[in-house]
Structure 1
């Protein structure tokens, strides 16, 4: 009698694997199309060739890689033998790509948050100082070196082994190395630190915007009290800024656009945090293999939603997307 529940449970697990495999196939196709569209849009759309969008493309590229290897994760999910159906080296490569992509993505989010903070609060006359192509390129190279080093160094030191996990039926850290949990914990800690830094920059942006708006309202109220019109008040504010050598006369319109872009990019951060939450809870409070499969699936959602956010919310990306999809000149 004890065998029957076990057999029934095994059948249920197989069903859940098939469900998740089907969903991941959809994720892979949508993610490949969406992230490829972001990369192509940046290449062909002159309006999108901004320094911040260099980081957006750096976010799309690891997502594209992650969606590519999803097809190999599906093979592991559908395996009925308890082993990866392809060579173990393929499974290890899949894990390496995914772990590198996750690390690269999350620290690119930190870089985007830093650049947004710098542009809005520190940049003089728009986009000068730190906000240059050369320095952003160096930042991208550092992110990739750090991400690849994290993937390589711990396994070389014996902390974790990349391969097939029988427990989750996925390519991840294996179940055989006693230090696998430390490797996963290290990955989680790096992601948590990155998300914390990202939130710090966005909170500082919010505080700056609120303070800036209050100062402008106070200035407008003083000018209105002296009898000057709103136009004159704004012109006086702009001219005083120019005299101080701090901001150009159109800074109000520029800041509104920058703030709108920042809001859209913050949505990307929020989605990543929500996707990461399920995996974090499952790691802290271990559950069944089915819960692990679904929490991992939710984490992989992050690789497909970013292009959707750009298409729906980012005006410049939205315009270029429409032209490409309608086969019109960009």
Structure 2
């Protein structure tokens, strides 16, 4: 009888262990290995690219603009996120159902990832606000909010806001940062029943930030279209009246000032500001594209391999901004080449 009981107990243990293992490793190892390898590439490219952006603004005199203070802040947030990608890869490659390092390390990795993402998206909001302010309100020099000191204060507020909303809720018990056994990632654990509220908070903050960013860029577009229409109408009136070029120039300037618009000299400045705004809006579009898969995945209930790949795409946002600057921003492009070729910067 004793032998029979031992055999049945051992059989029960054998049947229980595989079921626990299958629950822990739901996502196949081959998918986790692919994502881990890609994150290591992201880490290398992101660290080099974002460091290049920061160094370029420091050493390049033409890049030391007020808006680029926010660009450096964005690059620093992405640099910080890329620093912890190898720690995510270590968790993805684990086959024990536990994080290979101490659990505190995994919680810190998750906190840094969330803080950097929140800081990035609200830095984009600040950039869109500054672009709107420069083009519509503060073209005539560093006036109003468009000063280095006030932009630096804005950066500090962004970091305080990001740390508060990403770290304080788990400290208060709303969600638990740690190792997700299902996806083998440092994120939220399923041990806390209030974790869903933390996820909703994250999603709401990102959606609000993106909506604010779009509102500012739409207002910029409306202002530019209205401004250009006024100039086209004025040029048409000048041609119809047959006035001389000098008189037309003077009348146009006086009418623009009387209507609260900018003089013709400001129009050339606007063109440069608009080009900068286009490049920065491209950064916003890429950010939205990278997070689109994650947003769609949250809308669809359940868990799947697609969730792991959508998170990987969201992580990819940390490496694309230096590529955009290098391809579309002439000043950044010139300084990038100078630094890579180890030539002295003039």
Partner of 2:80 in structure 1?
65
- Work out which of the two has the higher radius of gyration on C-alpha atoms and give 1 or 2: 2
CA distance in 1, matches of 2:92, 2:46: 19
Output one character per residue of 1:49-81: Cα deviation in whole Å (capped at 9) or x when no partner: 000000001100010000000010000000000
TM-score by length of 1: 0.93
The answer (yes or no) to whether the contact 1:220–1:230 under 8 Å persists in 2 is no
Counterpart position of 1:304: 319
Once residues 228 and 77 of structure 1 are traced to their aligned partners in structure 2, the CA distance between those partners, rounded to angstroms, is 73
CA offsets 1:237-262 (integer angstroms, 9 cap, x no match): 34655688864542111101100110
**Structure 1 partner of 2:14:** none
Per the normalisation by structure 2, the TM-score is 0.89
CA RMSD of aligned residues (A): 2.3
- Which residues of structure 1 form unaligned runs of 5+? none
Instruction: Name the CA shift for 1:276/1:232 in 2 (closer, same or farther; >3 Å).
Output: farther
Q: Distance in 2 between matches of 1:329 and 1:160?
A: 50
Does 2:207 align with 1:203? Answer: no
Q: In structure 2, what is the equivalent of residue 86 of structure 1?
A: 101
Q: Which residue number corresponds to residue 165 of structure 2?
A: 150
**Distance in 2 (alpha carbons) for counterparts of 1:283 and 1:36:** 32
Task: State the secondary structure of the residue aligned to 1:250.
Answer: helix
Matched, 1:188 2:203: yes
Shift, 1:221, TM fit:
0.5
Q: 1:320 aligns with which of 335, 339, 342?
A: 335
**How much does 1:183 deviate?**
0.6
Give 1:151 deviation, angstroms.
2.0
Q: 1:127: Cα distance to partner?
A: 3.5
Contact 2:27 2:183 in 1 (8 A): no
Distance 2:246 2:336 in 1: 37
The residue number in structure 2 matching 1:109 is: 124
- Quickly say closer, same or farther: Cα 1:328–1:130, change in 2 above 3 A: same
1:216 to 219, 223, 231: 231
Per-residue deviation, 1:180: 1.1
Give the distance between the partners of 2:271 and 2:134, measured in 1 at CA: 12
Residues 237 and 315 of structure 1: CA distance in aligned 2, closer, same or farther (over 3 Å): farther
Q: How far apart are the structure 1 equivalents of 2:246 and 2:107?
A: 64
Unaligned runs of 5+ in 2: 1-17
Shift of 1:289: 3.9
| Residues 264 and 310, structure 1, Cα contact 8 Å, conserved in 2 | yes
| Change over 3 Å in CA distance of 1:115–1:248 after alignment to 2 | same
**Equivalent in the alignment of 2:12:** none
